[in-house]
Structure 1
Amino acid sequence: MDSIESCSRFDSLDEVPSDRVESLVEDEGYESLCEEDYSMCMQHEAGHFLVGYLLGVLPKGYEVPGTEALRQDEFAAGRVKFVGFEFLKEVSFKLSWISRLSMPCRFIFQRMLKTDIGQVSNRILNNFSCIILGGLVAAHLVFGYSKGHHSDIDKLERVFKWLGYRKSEAISQVKWAALNTLLISHRNSEARSRLAKAMATGRSVSLCIETIENAIHGKEI
């Protein structure tokens, strides 16, 4: 929960201090830092992919940055696309319009958005919440900490805002999703590890799914 909260108020605290970078370069530790970033990125995207698939949400594509891309930009990120989350485009569109309105009009428009709540079932919201946190949870399980998940948490907060959730409701939803995602990811750590290697080599979605199925065969999800 601390990591999730820090992502929601992203600032320069998450950046590596310049003097730290210089010392890493001098003692040849920068290369190992890049390798760890790359490994964390693979685990992150594998976490999204695995949790989504095990919850019955079909992945339809993914992108992962290479080591060179991460050397040039430490915030380079991958992504996994899922079938059934098309509502996210509508969320971004409507919230962008709200931000441009004056306060009286913004209030009226926000009340109109309440009618959209029925468009997202509890099941979809629960799955979405778990999948969004899948990357952060995977990083914590493997490395003991996480970074670079600010866009994920931003998407989650945007959906809560779109649905008109109060802060207490959003926190409750996040806690529930974090616990369930942790259980899923921990029970299937071997599948996630194999999946991360498959994604790193650019295997197709179908082969990635086959990797998961082979790893969980005969096991309780």
Structure 2
Amino acid sequence: GPLSKLDECLERVVAAEVAGELGLAASAEIEVQAVVSRELQGLLRSFGTADQLPKRELTLQELRENGVEAASLLSPEDTTLDHVRKGLLAIVALIGTVLIVALHPTWFELFRIIFAGFLALLVDQVVTQGVLELVVVDSIARVLDPEYRIRVSQHEAGHFLVAYLLGILPKAYTLSSLDALVQYQSPNVQAGCVFCDGDFRREVASGSLSGRSLDRFICVALGGVAAEYVRFGQARGGLTDIQQIESVLQSLGFDQRRASAEVRWAVLNTVSLLRRHADTHLQLSEAMARGAPIGECIALIEQDLCSSA
């Protein structure tokens, strides 16, 4: 059907980007837009139709009156991976101690082992920017900590749903560092959602970003932390999302007051969207956790929103 064709087009976009063929990727993205406008026009009834809050400057007190504690959303701190790293170091130290006691290596052999380990860590940090360590730690965390897995899927489903409701088409998603490494074949790509946002990138490159585009960008970037906040009362992942927002606002020359006003409105707008569509978000996160293709995720959103309308 049309959604299967959309999946095929999106896969071509991603494949072209992975191959570094940016011209081909741009052409494939235009094809995606054509499929959406022609063949899916009657099917994507919820795409870009979100009821948003009127744009105005909000205080922290007004956020609290609407049940939003900004600090719990905008200051994410995830200690899961740090705990896994410390656990791994403790295990390595224990194994090393046991081997030393059992094998009685010479000082030279011990130095060679330590040097080899140090060199491996150095190569990972310099050549792959620490991606191999991240893949190992993230994979172990996903096995040992079910809550971590759930949080990641809820987080990325927040990005996905907010983007879709605001009229930005999700292009692909990954929920683990290993999946991201396999899909994009690059150590510089993190797990998460990516979008058909060529228009936004062109606006940023030209230095003339419209207010509508900026609002949508900030809301989508906040979708992950907002989803965690709505579900758990505290965001843990998403620090890079917050830093990305700060970087864009700084590059646009926003002072602290104006930047805070933009973010506060976007926080309440995004949280309101996710509260309104909490059931859809939960079902979407479950579909993404089992690896559903983009088309299936879109069909789920449309079916759920239409049935609840």
TM above 0.5, yes or no, is yes
The root-mean-square deviation of aligned C-alpha atoms, in Å, is: 3.1
Displacement of 1:192: 0.6
Alignment of 1:84 with 2:173, yes or no, is no
Which of 147, 160, 172 is residue 61 of structure 1 equivalent to?
Answer: 172
**Is the 8 Å Cα contact of residues 58 and 82 (structure 1) preserved in structure 2?**
yes
Displacement of 1:50: 0.2
Displacement of 1:78: 2.5
Displacement of 1:154: 1.0
Residue correspondence of structure 1 range 202-217 to structure 2 within 5 A: 202-217=291-306
**Is the 8 Å Cα contact of residues 38 and 67 (structure 1) preserved in structure 2?**
no
TM-score (norm 1): 0.70
Q: Aligned equivalents of 1:82 and 1:31: distance in 2? A: 25
Q: Aligned equivalents of 1:35 and 1:42: distance in 2? A: 11
The equivalent of 1:52 in structure 2 is: 163
TM-score (norm 2): 0.51
**Is the 8 Å Cα contact of residues 73 and 229 (structure 2) preserved in structure 1?**
no
Alignment of 1:198 with 2:309, yes or no, is no
**Is the 8 Å Cα contact of residues 45 and 78 (structure 1) preserved in structure 2?**
no
- Local SS of the residue matching 2:223: helix
Displacement of 1:56: 1.1
| Structure 1, unpaired ranges of 5+ | 8-12, 23-29, 70-75, 95-114
Deviations 1:118-176 (A, max 9, x none): x2111111111111111001101111211121110111011101111111111000000
Displacement of 1:87: 4.8
**Is the 8 Å Cα contact of residues 191 and 215 (structure 1) preserved in structure 2?**
yes
The equivalent of 1:188 in structure 2 is: 277
Residue correspondence of structure 1 range 3-42 to structure 2 within 5 A: 3-7=72-76, 14-15=78-79, 34-42=145-153
Which of 143, 161, 165 is residue 232 of structure 2 equivalent to?
Answer: 143
Given residue 75 of structure 2, which amino acid in structure 1 is its aligned partner? S
Displacement of 1:90: 8.9
- Local SS of the residue matching 2:173: strand
- Local SS of the residue matching 1:217: helix
**Is the 8 Å Cα contact of residues 4 and 153 (structure 1) preserved in structure 2?**
no
Given residue 123 of structure 1, which amino acid in structure 2 is its aligned partner? R
Displacement of 1:31: 8.5
Displacement of 1:188: 0.4
The 1:140–1:193 alpha-carbon spacing in structure 2 relative to 1, beyond 3 Å, is same
Aligned residues: 178
Displacement of 1:3: 3.5
**Percent of pairs identical after alignment?**
35
Deviations 1:101-133 (A, max 9, x none): xxxxxxxxxxxxxx81xx211111111111111
Displacement of 1:187: 0.6
Given residue 162 of structure 1, which amino acid in structure 2 is its aligned partner? S
Which of 210, 214, 232 is residue 121 of structure 1 equivalent to?
Answer: 210
**Computing the radius of gyration over CA atoms, which structure comes out larger, 1 or 2?**
2
The 1:85–1:186 alpha-carbon spacing in structure 2 relative to 1, beyond 3 Å, is farther
- Local SS of the residue matching 1:62: strand
**Is the 8 Å Cα contact of residues 40 and 139 (structure 1) preserved in structure 2?**
yes
Q: Aligned equivalents of 1:217 and 1:169: distance in 2? A: 37
**Is the 8 Å Cα contact of residues 34 and 67 (structure 1) preserved in structure 2?**
no
**Is the 8 Å Cα contact of residues 35 and 67 (structure 1) preserved in structure 2?**
no
Displacement of 1:77: 5.8
Q: Aligned equivalents of 2:142 and 2:152: distance in 1? A: 15
Given residue 175 of structure 1, which amino acid in structure 2 is its aligned partner? R
